[in-house]
Amino acid sequence: MAFDGKKRRVVVTGMGALTPLGLTVHEYWENLLAGKSGAGPNPYFDTREFDTKFVCALKGFDAMKFMDRKLAQRSDPFTQYALAATEVALKDSGLNLEAEDRERIGVVVGSGIGGMWTYHRQQETLFETKGPHRISPFFIPMLIPDITPGRISMIYGLKGPNYGTVSACATASHAIGDSFVLIQRGDADVMVTGGSEAPITPMGVGGFNAMKALSTRNDAPEKASRPFDKTRDGFVMGEGSGILVIEELHHAVNRGARIYAEIAGIGFTADAHHITEPAPGGEGAVRSMRLAIKDAGLSPEDVDYINTHGTSTPVGDKNETAAIKTVFGNRAYNMAVNSTKSMIGHLLGAAGAVEAIATIMSIVSNKVHPTINLETPDPECDLNYLSDGANDWSVNAAISNTFGFGGHNASILFRKYANERD
């Protein structure tokens, strides 16, 4: 379909989430509202020589519930997670693929790092046990991030736009934003989109420790992720996947789909400043939020809630707070502001998707989950982070922020669906 210059409206009709707080959207959301922490001892390898000995891991995931043994063996955990979340999201959407034109359904799913476990195990094969001739022929296909959208398209026969995004912690938000634009301009009617990550490997933890990016609060893992708290000392590594089914409004209405929310606007910017630190004052984040608001045709006064990037890093949290103040002025103090990462840790390339789901659930329920572990207020972080627990909050429009190493900024504005905007 050629783009005629008129942007089509895009809505969310299906969601699937595998997170450290639950393997369903319902369980995940209920635990967020309850203020539970997903942090605990690292279950994957001996951490005695590592500075950080805890993570936010998935609990109870069984790939065999979602795929056969052969596919599981030929898929890195990050792909397994995405396939599972996709199955749930498609079922949740109610799409009858047999009745759909699958050339009009695409997949954009990203991973910030890709097959870390595959690399780890094949490196062991090469250097410690069997040598180069015993490297698996599936090594490269299991490693590369784009294999996940490829696998999804093959399993479901989806022949529309198909690729992966890679922009560190902004990966999933870029995937969702790209999918939004593809539908807006008529290149697809339905998109399966989001992100997945399985980075809790020796090299993953060791690498982030080397950067001094991870919390080392080993005596109290459940207290380690403490965004906006004065004593924060780094993020907690998490894993999992979030997948959304989004579609053109009339396509959704015509098939009688349940609509969770509308994607109203996106803002993508670059800091052009530093490989890991945000620009001073969150300058890039200021522009991404302003672009998302403008794209939605709204004003700052229309936004009720910000789901922050909120990683629990000393520099990141204060710069995001400063950016919110710059964009919203005095209104910043009257908005709900929180960090999902306070409970699930940082899912890196999957963060934008699972946090988008939390944002959408706030729009659906008019409830906003707390930011936990905010015990010692940082004078530079003085917004309403809901540290006292979940709140009833009228949420008509909300922004989900994600920012990645390399200076990548992504803001997505979701709002309540109202058919009078047709």
Please provide the average confidence, as pLDDT, over all residues in the chain: 96
Question: Tell me: the pLDDT tens digits for 122-148?
Answer: 999 999 888 899 999 999 999 999 999
Architecture of domain 266-421: 3-Layer(aba) Sandwich (3.40)
Average pLDDT of the segment spanning 197-219: 98
Would you say the CATH fold of 266-421 matches that of 11-254? yes
Can you give the pLDDT at residue 128? 85
Please say if the pLDDT value at position 3 is more than 80: no
Per-residue model confidence (pLDDT) at position 369 = 98
Please give, one letter per residue, the 3-state secondary structure of the chain: CCCCCCCCCEEEEEEEEEECCECCHHHHHHHHHCCCCCCEECCCCCCCCCCCCEEECCCCCCHHHCCCHHHHHCCCHHHHHHHHHHHHHHHHHCCCHHHCCHHHEEEEEECCCCCHHHHHHHHHHHHHHCCHHHCCCCHHHHHCCCHHHHHHHHHHCCCCCEECCCECECHHHHHHHHHHHHHHCCCCCEEEEEEEECCCCHHHHHHHHHCCCECCCCCCHHHCCCCCECCCCCECEECEEEEEEEEEHHHHHHCCCCCCEEEEEEEEEECCCCCCCCCHHHHHHHHHHHHHHHHCCCCHHHCCEEECCCCCCHHHHHHHHHHHHHHHHHHHHHCEEECCHHHHCECHHHHHHHHHHHHHHHHHHCEECCCCCCCCECCCCCCCCCCCCCEECCCCEEEEEEEECCCEEEEEEEECCCHHHC
**Residue 152 confidence (pLDDT) above 50:** yes
In this prediction, residue 1 carries a pLDDT of 57
% pLDDT > 70, the chain:
98
Active site residues: 169, 309, 346
In the structure, what pLDDT confidence band is assigned to residue 422 with cuts at 50, 70 and 90? very low
Average pLDDT over residues 264-290: 96
CATH class of 11-254: alpha beta
- The domain segmentation of the chain, as residue ranges, is 11-254, 266-421
Binning pLDDT at 50, 70 and 90, where does residue 407 land? very high
Q: What is the pLDDT of residue 390?
A: 86
Question: What is the pLDDT at residue 130?
Answer: 83
Band of residue 6 on the pLDDT scale cut at 50, 70, 90: confident
